[in-house]
Structure 1
């Protein structure tokens, strides 16, 4: 489909378990012919909002084709007569998910041409395909896929498992075959995959098939002490190839093949010096055609790896819990290092290893994923360096360009908050970090806001004081249980740059989990003095049976009416009934502000089924001049409880004004005005306060005086100054109405309209 088209749009509500369904009919492009290899891409854009107003967005794609099943076939190459052909069949959807499937494998003999045909100089398509095919192939029989199929040799059934995988072994004699893997999808439509193979007999000296060039390699990965076997052959009556074995940029061996043989077996003994890989290049020239065969065989540095496994580990923790993990470090077993004897230093158990480890909030990976190297990459690593160049190939003149393009750089500057304002924004923006989130920006509050830790509660329900002698912050409920508030919302649980193992290869990690409900990601990288290394990753979740997650306003202004939302989740196996409590205190004076904010009823009841959640809301009014409020929100049942505290900033409803100057321009001309207070102000103050210069232009300035009159008249207290201001405002209004008849007429219209009185 050459264009995008919206096929469905709508809204829905999730089920109690959070699931939802989308129903639509995927439509195909009517101009495209229906074949099994055509599929269409569909994009789904989701925006999900919870009851607290938090919204998450997700975009994902899926594919729909004319058939619902795909077949993928992998086969070992080359195929030797003495060993059966191993087929790995995979049935999957267009999105790569494994599907259960079944079908048949049909094996056909291929009818070989009478002579060898060389390939054209240009093997692609387009206008050059005919021009460059000078005395080349007539029927393109140089490619096996163009050989006609002959008799059916073998037929075999196959069935894949639930993951869509199965292995099938087929024993074949020497020859050229086409393997057709056939199946039907759930709608009864036929699906097939064809594979062309050559079965050779290395015991023979002649390559009996009319193919100009044939090559294969037994392994693409090897270890020291093993043998890698390569095969090369040609269908011509005679042929000589040049073979090179290259490692570390040096030619270890080079030779010409025996001209009396057209099928050759090349054995390469892999040694310890070949770690990092090696290349084998086989070059053959015949009838003005170059056949370049290059194979790269990887020899990994597995002798430089360390095994890491958990001795003590838990993947499900509670917030604020003290935890201890133990990691075991060991060398790979000797069975994984076959062949040539290792150096003595590489066989001994590592006496001491160093480790760097961290545990952080996995949600940060949505912004920038944190991935450590899984192994040292400074060991030598070869790569396939073969390149196909031949002097008899067609060359075309290059286009000459002699003009010079001038480039100019530019920089775009955007308005931003001053550095002094956002220096500690990472600690303040979430407003869930308790007292510590504000201390970075206001260190002078440290003495008043220092966090305390609850030591306990006695049998009668009285609060036990901590070591400093101050009363701990707890909630007393009917079951004599106290609720410990969660206030540590660090996004990094720990970062230990220098952990060491003991004599047994054990590494101990002791830490305390932050109070956040989230998923965590662990990364641990170890190494020793011989550059042996390893990486360990793990995912951890912090959760409780009863969880309360607040969604407070990011900030408020004095005079605002705010709504405080919380979500209470039940992760237990039974229905939970209890109450949630919200309370506000001043961050500086530590006084309770529930009554001043109009929060007369700060307790709400809830009843939540297993695995579900409920959203609770409180309304309040900021009518007192405070700068920061500290909220305490908790949920409790008979057996479970949870609480959280955080900071909510309250901004002033006033804007500081440096200078206000009226400017009168009567008729055409140029007038100059000077803002004296603005000139005297330090420019650095502008950067600190994010200053603005506002110019308002009006043809009737008298309206500004009219707009200011209600402010003067609306005075809360009846003092002498306010009485005079009201008298003065009435006198000004009287003068304006007498001197401006049109304004007086508008005021009369307002007085006649009941809605404006």
Structure 2
């Protein structure tokens, strides 16, 4: 260290590498500040004999207009840092062989049997010794030499003074640095001197000269034939429209094709060229980009301060104009957040632009007559429709499994081996191996904790009784454990793993991911992680406590955000009443002479006398996002004002903004500012404390006052739940410590804390005061207990009129445990389980998509809700009481009424979030069962559904799509069920039956088409859509006397009767109902009997089918299947006993799962 804040490193031991031209170093740097915070950085360093690189931006084709432009280049060292140097350029004209040749598809042969003259005579357009590759052409004398000095690394090579004729050139660039190290870069370029020239290579059949243009410019292509004469074709496209079709007669001389965009072309268009000659197909699709600079905005700050005090209010003023400086009426989104968040994940505005159109639908496809597959040549235009062309197949050679592409198998296997090796390297790096070797001799139990992929997992909690340890960055742990003691490994997101210590000291663990989490937000280090999304519910816990804790109305944020505020007496203040900036009184104190501090009287002892401590309001608002304004609009002057209060963190903030106008002019802007104080104090607090631990809490002081200062820092501690002061500082230390800071200096202070048990969270308050400056910080840190809360549940199912005894064995045995402590016992009784199903109805109303199926689902749900209200005055009264409750207490779930769930710890648990969901569902139910709203929604959704129906009676899935037979059948079935259950008032909806009958006529015609096709193809069978149709049709009594229709129905009923045994339970239930409603009662009862024989029974789950499981297809859904089976048993077999058993399974499923589809 040779200067303040500058560190020099000297590398040694690299003499062995001096013989290597280029090698790479990977350096790692860890920097730890006074507060104990460590930041890491790594960087690759390139080193070698010659420390110079040259980058040249020379185009492959140089057109006449570019001969007057410059060529950009850059000279750097090996690590891409610009340096001084010299550049020399030599242009060599290459000698053209004199004929156009096709590239050799098989590469250059090892030996030619013909001389070059004979070869050209027989194959005038085929390559001989790389005649078609300019890289192999002979170079003539130097045509031109240039020299240029470079001061800043980058420069431009002037082309206007160079006289170059048409043809191919080899350009040799040579760069020298100050040490005379050199590097040479060679490029081959094609120079076009004139507007139109003869082509020299086959690949020049199409050359794109200009494909990025402004609205007033033209796209330019050079189009030519390889043969002396040819017929060619091109098309121009915009979006899905063919704008132009053009045929051309081509020669070897390039035809200049210029295409100007038409008015209304936004962002770009495409041109496709095609040429077929000499058995070869030439085809090229080119997208033209239209760059309109007039669509960019200009944003300027009229007022902006890049330094603020924590908690200070400020106002920014911005002006938005176009490129000409004219004001623009625009809308803007602006965000200001802690820039350190970018270390976790960089935030950036993506460039907003009109989505590029995919012109691949116009791409002409072709297939050549390849020996291996024996297909004929064919050529088609894909946009003409998705169809295949009939092709003749010839005899083929049986390769008996031999595949020319078998090397892929070898490649995949090599990749597999490489992945395994990479995992080994990751989990057993050199440092990890050394550490394991050290631990082997320690006598401790040690090992590595890995995930399922074999990677070491840091931060894992390893416990043996009350002793604990955590894994390091390699996933390695060590802990003292005696033989026979249980070692447990736990971490959020993984299943708990346990084993017992034995004679072998090394014990490795592999953790399995836990898929049972419920979107839990887990605070890890500096950021938040989301656990895996799942749909299963979990058992809910209710805790009982004697009284509500202090501050219960204030949500206490842990570690890094708002803390509950207290007044000077330790009582919680009303929510939101916090000071923005630390308040400083006007008295002058001789802080250097302070002799002590009395926390009981809150006074200093100065010269032996008590002096009242100045009032310091600590910083408490540490939110990472200062503000997010999504919809700011300019005033008449084209200006936007942003007023905000900065949070109280001492950090660097990043402002990001995006503005746009109605005609989609856009602009993004980024700014940075810092918050700082003349004197500041900040603690490096952990994410959590643990009961019984002794921890060193460190704090860092910074002096930006411009002069040396001294003073006192004080640490105050409170129980975050009650607000009462606690004394947990080590007896050897005092709450106050002196400090003396140089200008721009910093100092570390430390307090040793002994964490007690029985406290849920601790609030610390750090204050620092000097003669003229003060600062303070207050945060809340949770305290984790040694014990883990475990919730066990037992389902108790009791049928009506019966008595049952349940024994809770684990609860009875808990008295024998030395560590287990019972927290609470909750018994939940539901007298009417139908409520579980009723709560699913709001889902039908709130599904977000405006498709025909969802629109009908809303109509269906409203009809059901209306029927429930009208059939039960008691239910109606309950919902009315919910709606009329002023304080909202009736809408609170039973869980939320429990005061224990309002405490700081339980608010962070999944079951409380479930309680919030329960409350939300009650609110949604009360809205759903509002008769006034239901009447309006029924009418609105029916009108929307009617407007979606086609004239032929079919419904699409979404508006604008083609007719969908399955969706139509689904709607017919649903309306039929509503009519069957008498839940729809046909007088209120006079158009219901006409809409239904139109759909029935459409479906009847489709079924007749299926029947006719089956007869034509001599198929004997049916598909599942036909069975679904017959089921939906069975709800509607509309007769169809058409002879073909009657034959079709009889045909499919016979097919179903013959083959129903091969169907799954869902389809068998449909079959039983269809046969029963079509007069085939005996066959329908056979289906029910088989289903009954295959059913399983249990007291807890009722009657169910093992093969009723989720699947990919629409007829593989357990909830819908069970409901359909209930309908079949009730209607066909009149088996009320089985129906009641089957309802148990359905309601048990609803008790533990959300039904995530509208059909369910």
**Pairwise TM-score range, normalised by the shorter structure:** 0.5 to 0.7
Bigger share in helix: 2
Aligned to 2:747: 614
Change (3 A) 1:226 1:675: closer
Task: Return the alpha-carbon distance in structure 1 between the equivalents of residues 782 and 629 of structure 2.
Answer: 34
**What whole-Å deviation, never above 9, does each CA across 1:125-174 have from its counterpart, x for those lacking one?**
99xxxxxx996311212122221211111110123442534343244233
Change (3 A) 1:279 1:92: farther
- Please show how residues 141-160 of structure 1 align to structure 2 within 5 Å: 141-160=131-150
TM-score, length basis structure 1 = 0.68
1:486 aligned counterpart, secondary structure:
coil
Unaligned runs of 5+ in 2: 111-119, 375-398, 402-492, 497-513, 529-554, 590-601, 793-808, 816-821, 828-899, 910-1160
Aligned to 2:189: 197
Q: CA deviation at 1:490?
A: 0.9
**Residue 86 of structure 2 is aligned to residue 102 of structure 1:** yes
Task: Return the alpha-carbon distance in structure 1 between the equivalents of residues 584 and 87 of structure 2.
Answer: 70
Aligned to 1:492: 625
Task: Return the alpha-carbon distance in structure 2 between the equivalents of residues 332 and 122 of structure 1.
Answer: 55
Q: CA deviation at 1:376?
A: 4.9
Aligned to 1:705: none
Change (3 A) 1:618 1:311: same
Aligned length: 615
Aligned to 1:602: 735
Pairing partner for 1:431 from 553, 559, 567? 559
CA contact (8 A) 1:486 1:643 kept: yes
**Residue 101 of structure 2 is aligned to residue 117 of structure 1:** yes
Change (3 A) 1:279 1:632: same
Unaligned runs of 5+ in 1: 1-12, 127-132, 335-347, 402-411, 463-472, 660-672, 691-757
**Residue 6 of structure 2 is aligned to residue 23 of structure 1:** no
Aligned to 1:184: 176
Q: CA deviation at 1:66?
A: 5.2
Change (3 A) 1:626 1:90: same
Task: Return the alpha-carbon distance in structure 1 between the equivalents of residues 165 and 739 of structure 2.
Answer: 76
Aligned to 1:53: 36
Change (3 A) 1:208 1:534: closer
Pairing partner for 1:676 from 812, 820, 825? 812
**What whole-Å deviation, never above 9, does each CA across 1:703-754 have from its counterpart, x for those lacking one?**
xxxxxxxxxxxxxxxxxxxxxxxxxxxxxxxxxxxxxxxxxxxxxxxxxxxx
CA contact (8 A) 1:580 1:605 kept: yes
* Segment drifting more, 133-142 vs 307-316: 133-142
1:363 aligned counterpart, secondary structure:
helix
**Residue 241 of structure 2 is aligned to residue 250 of structure 1:** yes
CA contact (8 A) 1:224 1:270 kept: yes
Aligned to 1:87: 71
- Please show how residues 256-405 of structure 1 align to structure 2 within 5 Å: 256-259=247-250, 262-300=253-291, 302=293, 304-333=295-324, 350-351=328-329, 353-378=330-355, 381=357, 396-397=372-373
Task: Return the alpha-carbon distance in structure 2 between the equivalents of residues 382 and 656 of structure 1.
Answer: 56
Q: CA deviation at 1:530?
A: 3.9
Q: CA deviation at 1:552?
A: 2.9
Change (3 A) 1:217 1:654: closer
CA contact (8 A) 1:584 1:631 kept: yes
1:676 aligned counterpart, secondary structure:
helix
1:213 aligned counterpart, secondary structure:
helix
Change (3 A) 1:203 1:531: closer
Q: CA deviation at 1:600?
A: 5.3
Aligned to 2:847: none
CA contact (8 A) 1:276 1:381 kept: no
Task: Return the alpha-carbon distance in structure 1 between the equivalents of residues 17 and 97 of structure 2.
Answer: 41
Aligned to 1:340: none
Task: Return the alpha-carbon distance in structure 2 between the equivalents of residues 549 and 275 of structure 1.
Answer: 54
Q: CA deviation at 1:325?
A: 0.8
Aligned to 2:164: 172
CA contact (8 A) 1:102 1:159 kept: yes
* Segment drifting more, 421-430 vs 57-66: 421-430
Q: CA deviation at 1:550?
A: 0.8
2:342 aligned counterpart, secondary structure:
helix
Which structure's relative contact order is higher, taking Cα pairs within 8 Å and 6+ residues apart? 1
Q: CA deviation at 1:433?
A: 3.9
1:298 aligned counterpart, secondary structure:
strand
CA contact (8 A) 2:717 2:763 kept: yes
CA contact (8 A) 1:475 1:482 kept: no
Aligned to 1:139: 129
TM-score, length basis structure 2 = 0.46
Aligned to 1:646: 779
Pairing partner for 1:414 from 483, 495, 503? 495
Q: CA deviation at 1:489?
A: 0.5
- Please show how residues 665-744 of structure 1 align to structure 2 within 5 Å: 676=812, 678=814, 682=825
Bigger share in strand: 1
Q: CA deviation at 1:298?
A: 0.5
Task: Return the alpha-carbon distance in structure 2 between the equivalents of residues 293 and 421 of structure 1.
Answer: 52
CA contact (8 A) 1:40 1:63 kept: yes
Change (3 A) 1:558 1:373: closer
1:436 aligned counterpart, secondary structure:
coil
CA contact (8 A) 2:75 2:175 kept: no
Task: Return the alpha-carbon distance in structure 2 between the equivalents of residues 294 and 623 of structure 1.
Answer: 73
**What whole-Å deviation, never above 9, does each CA across 1:548-585 have from its counterpart, x for those lacking one?**
22113444456543322111234465555444333334
1:273 aligned counterpart, secondary structure:
coil
**Residue 532 of structure 2 is aligned to residue 544 of structure 1:** no
